[in-house]
Amino acid sequence: MIITMASISLDGFFEGPGHDISWHHMSEEMHDYINADLASMSTLLDGRRTHELMLEAWPHAEEQPDFTQKMREFAPIWRNVRKIIYSRTRTFTEWNSETRTEVDADEIRSLPGDSMVGGANLLETFFAQDLVDEIRLYVNPIAIGAGTPFFKRPNALALRGTRAFGNGVVLLTYGRP
């Protein structure tokens, strides 16, 4: 199954102008939940920019004095999982990563287990090729008014589940109708 998850604002943006995500609410409770969720993935499917952001934090997270224990617990999950990075400009070979220049729908459909796709442009490609089976939206209790919308075209969805976190974020899980 191909899954995507994203923190979004009440008005549907997953990042504000200038790629701002400072408004994302995170808590220890959410970190526990997300760590367990991502630990179950067989593959992470990321765009170049998302992977570069991950490279800034997770390879050496244990050495970061301002990282919480939950953040440090995520680091080996990220380091150890297989990663396929989609980029036309860079080749990644570190931290269990492979590079592809194009999305091959047959390859994606043949991946074992559950895989998580991330990155705005990459996600749009996956939506266009009807490759996303489940969407997990962490809706933050804030409207930001502008930014990068999560959905760039209509998508019919069926609600599969909800979960409220103590910090006001609500997880909405959707699948195909």
- CATH 3.40.430.10 assigned to domain 2-175? The reply is yes
User: Are residues 45 and 86 in contact, defined by beta-carbon separation less than 8 angstroms?
Assistant: yes
DSSP labels, 135-151: EEEEE-S---SSSEES-
Q: Which of 176, 39, 30 is nearest to 113 (CA)?
A: 39
The whole model's pTM is what?
0.89
Which amino acid is present at 89? T
Tens digit of pLDDT for each residue in 34-74? 999 999 999 999 988 888 888 887 878 888 888 888 888 88
Domain residue spans of the chain: 2-175
